[in-house]
Structure 1
Amino acid sequence: MLGMMFNDKECKELDYVLRKELDEMLLDMSDQRLDQDIRDAIAKRYKTVFRMYARFAPSKELSKYARNSRFPRVKQ
């Protein structure tokens, strides 16, 4: 395990960057023009970034990015 120390400003910046990345990936996963394999790769990456964000985000903010079955896999 790797630990890092951030000051308050850096924590806010990391929070912002992770939220924007999650927003972008949600948008990409809902784009039907992208190949299913690409959307699957984005979904895998989304899980990793979401877990990073979950370590310090309040539960109210975290619920905005939870992906229960909002984006079911489209069968082709």
Structure 2
Amino acid sequence: MLGLLINDTEKKEIAYMVKRELEELLLDLEDDRIDPAVKDAMRDRYQILFQLLLRVGTQGECMEYMPKSKSDGQM
């Protein structure tokens, strides 16, 4: 386990960057031109970034980016 000491401004900046990356992944996952194997890797990346958002984001931010279940036809 690693630790990281950051201030509130840095925490907000990290949350902002993670949310922007999650948005990009969501847009790309909707693109039919992208190969399914690549989309699987993108889903894995989404999960990792979402776990990071859980550590630095607010509850509302996390709920907004909560991964959908595969049965919903999303993610």
1:62 pairs with 2:62: yes
Q: Give me the whole-angstrom Cα distance separating, in 1, the residues matched to 2:56 and 2:31.
A: 29
TM-score using structure 2 length: 0.86
Q: Give me the whole-angstrom Cα distance separating, in 2, the residues matched to 1:65 and 1:21.
A: 11
Amino acid at match of 1:34: I
> Please, which runs of 5 or more residues in structure 2 have no aligned partner?
none
Residue 14 (structure 1) shift: 0.5
Structure 1 residue runs of 4+, over 2 Å off?
Answer: none
Residue 7 (structure 1) shift: 1.3
SS in 2 for 1:27: helix
1:36 is aligned to 36
1:27 is aligned to 27
TM-score using structure 1 length: 0.85
1:24-63 deviation per Cα after TM superposition (whole angstroms, max 9, x unaligned): 1111111111000011100001000000101132221111
The answer to which structure has the higher helix fraction is 2
Percent of aligned pairs with the same amino acid: 38
Amino acid at match of 1:64: E
